[in-house]
């Protein structure tokens, strides 16, 4: 692999295949697999990733917002695409791109039915979400009869799936709560299907649901973070391979003396007689937020960790390389699958892998290894 000459996010499709196959191995035969590719496939490259997973015969995709689904259609994705967060202003985009809306409350349900009827649709596929404890989006358990009455009154739409979302599937101390969510979903789906007269697909598990709650796999699972190589726990992550490596280079090295400072607001002051610093072409505009500054985050240069010193700038960070044999132009690893995972780096700064990887901005060049 050639060394990085600028900041790049290198994406390894072989690792993606490994993660897909590993997660699939946890499912019963016949359980459908939906890949969650919202937010540029968690900051990676939604188009490349979706096309690759489509070739691996994935069953379904999900995005958060309609425009993300439209971009996938443009890139040649033909599998069904669920829009998790439907907004009425996006109905046209949904219909024009054959996207499948999640209908989660009475307002969006009524509005979409009226829209589909006005557009002369027949059995347009929709998904109905129930809230079982996350209290974010979804109808309530007590809404079943109301929702079904609306659904059977219109020929313009047809329910493809019924789903819910777990609030704490990665947190084993919340096991009782999660089991109660699963039970609630079972009751809702039983009542729903009986009243509706046919059986839509049922799904409620994200990655940690797949790994920790086999009783919650139902007819389909919805995996995001696991596909990208993180399992929300060391034990689970050990079986997965991070697909992305964030790399950069050393632009300049400085040697500063005791009492001299580095960066804005003089946040780092050398206490040592002599400090060697390296300036790197990556900053908060690239997704390395200020929480990684002042020693909370680090990079790896020639196999050794170099802490970020001072405040993270918009386009640069400075790291302490006093004890590292390195020179201008050397490659720098921010995170990857071997040296430092994004999960470890994020935890050191008090956040989670999801936030770090989805935050890598579009300024950073994506390089896909096939």
**b/e sequence 37-46, b meaning 16+ C-beta within 10 Å:** bbbbbbbbbb
255 is known as an active-site residue? no
Residue 222 assigned to a binding site: no
Cα–Cα–Cα angle for 23, 28, 33, rounded to 5 degrees: 50
Of residues 79, 28, 7, the one with CA closest to residue 49: 79
223 binds ligand PLP (CB under 6 A): yes
- Using CA atoms, how far apart are residues 293 and 218, in angstroms rounded to an integer? 43
Our CA dihedral for 55, 56, 61, 67, rounded to 10 degrees, sits at -30
24 is known as an active-site residue? no
Which C-beta is closer to ligand PLP: that of 226 or that of 293?
226
Among 14, 74, 146, 264, the one annotated catalytic: 264
The rounded Cα 107 to chain-centroid distance in angstroms is: 28
Reduced to 3 states (helix: H, G, I; strand: E, B; else coil), residue 138 is: coil
The rounded Cα 83 to chain-centroid distance in angstroms is: 14
43, 224, 263, 297: residue in contact with ligand PLP (rule CB under 6 A): 224
Rounded to a whole number of angstroms, the minimum distance from the CB of residue 47 to ligand PLP is 18
Interhelix angle 13-25/46-55, rounded to 10 degrees, is: 50
Binding-residue pattern over the window 78 to 97 for ligand PLP, x denoting contact by CB under 6 A: ------x-------------
**b/e sequence 102-122, b meaning 16+ C-beta within 10 Å:** bbbbeebbebbbebbeeeebe
Q: Which stretch binds ligand PLP (CB under 6 A): 145-153, 200-208, 211-219, 274-282?
A: 200-208
Q: Which stretch binds ligand PLP (CB under 6 A): 187-195, 204-212, 309-317, 327-335?
A: 204-212
Binding-residue pattern over the window 11 to 40 for ligand PLP, x denoting contact by CB under 6 A: -------------------------x----
Q: Which stretch binds ligand PLP (CB under 6 A): 46-54, 223-231, 261-269, 277-285?
A: 223-231
How would DSSP label each residue in 182-237?
A: HHHHHHHHHHHHHHHSS--EEEEE-HHHHHH-GGG-TTEEEESTTTTT--SSHHHH
Q: Which stretch binds ligand PLP (CB under 6 A): 115-123, 202-210, 260-268, 286-294?
A: 202-210
127 binds ligand PLP (CB under 6 A): no
276 binds ligand PLP (CB under 6 A): no
70, 108, 211, 222: residue in contact with ligand PLP (rule CB under 6 A): 222
- Beta carbons of 320 and 359 less than 8 angstroms apart: no
For the chain, the distance separating the N- and C-terminal CA atoms, rounded to the nearest angstrom, is: 12
206 binds ligand PLP (CB under 6 A): yes
Among 38, 129, 241, 276, the one annotated catalytic: 38
Q: Please give the size of the binding site for ligand PLP, defined by CB under 6 A.
A: 11
Binding-residue pattern over the window 151 to 180 for ligand PLP, x denoting contact by CB under 6 A: --------------x---------------
Which C-beta is closer to ligand PLP: that of 231 or that of 263?
231
Residue 184 assigned to a binding site: no
Residues that bind ligand PLP (CB under 6 A): 36, 84, 165, 206-208, 222-226
- Annotated binding-site residues read 136, 314
- By annotation, the residues acting in catalysis are 38, 264
- Annotated binding-site residues for substrate read 136, 314
């Amino acid at each position: 692999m050639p060394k990085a000459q600028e900041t790049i996010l290198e994406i390894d499709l072989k690792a993606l295949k490994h993660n897909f196959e590993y997660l699939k191995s946890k499912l019963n035969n016949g359980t459908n697999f939906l890949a969650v590719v919202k937010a540029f496939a968690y900051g990676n490259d939604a188009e490349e990733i979706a096309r690759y997973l489509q070739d691996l015969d994935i069953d379904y995709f999900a995005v958060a917002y309609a425009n993300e689904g439209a971009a996938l259609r443009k890139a040649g994705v033909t599998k069904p695409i669920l829009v998790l967060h439907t907004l009425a202003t996006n109905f046209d985009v949904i219909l024009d791109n054959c996207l499948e809306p999640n209908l989660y409350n009475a307002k969006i349900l009524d509005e979409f039915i009226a829209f589909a009827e006005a557009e002369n649709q027949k059995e347009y596929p929709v998904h109905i979400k129930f809230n079982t404890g996350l209290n974010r989006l979804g109808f309530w358990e007590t809404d079943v009869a109301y929702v079904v009455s609306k659904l059977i009154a219109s020929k313009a739409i047809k329910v493809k799936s019924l789903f819910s979302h777990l609030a704490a599937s990665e947190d084993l101390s919340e096991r009782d709560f999660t089991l109660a969510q699963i039970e609630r979903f079972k009751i809702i789906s039983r009542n729903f299907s009986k009243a509706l007269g046919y059986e839509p697909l049922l799904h409620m598990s994200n990655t940690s649901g797949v790994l920790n709650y086999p009783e919650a796999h139902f007819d389909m699972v919805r995996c995001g973070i696991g596909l990208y190589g993180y399992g929300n726990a060391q034990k689970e992550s050990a079986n997965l391979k991070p697909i992305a490596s964030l790399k950069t280079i050393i632009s300049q090295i400085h040697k500063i003396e005791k009492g001299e400072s580095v960066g804005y607001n003089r946040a780092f002051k050398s206490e040592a007689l002599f400090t060697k610093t390296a300036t790197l072409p990556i900053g908060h505009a690239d997704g390395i937020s200020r929480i990684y500054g002042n020693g909370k985050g680090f990079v790896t240069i020639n196999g050794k960790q170099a802490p970020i010193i001072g405040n993270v700038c918009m386009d640069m960070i400075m790291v302490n390389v006093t004890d590292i044999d390195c020179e201008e132009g050397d490659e720098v690893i921010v995170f990857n699958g071997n040296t430092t995972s994004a999960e470890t780096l994020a935890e050191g700064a008090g956040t989670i892998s999801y936030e770090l990887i989805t935050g890598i901005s579009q300024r950073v060049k994506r390089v896909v290894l096939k």
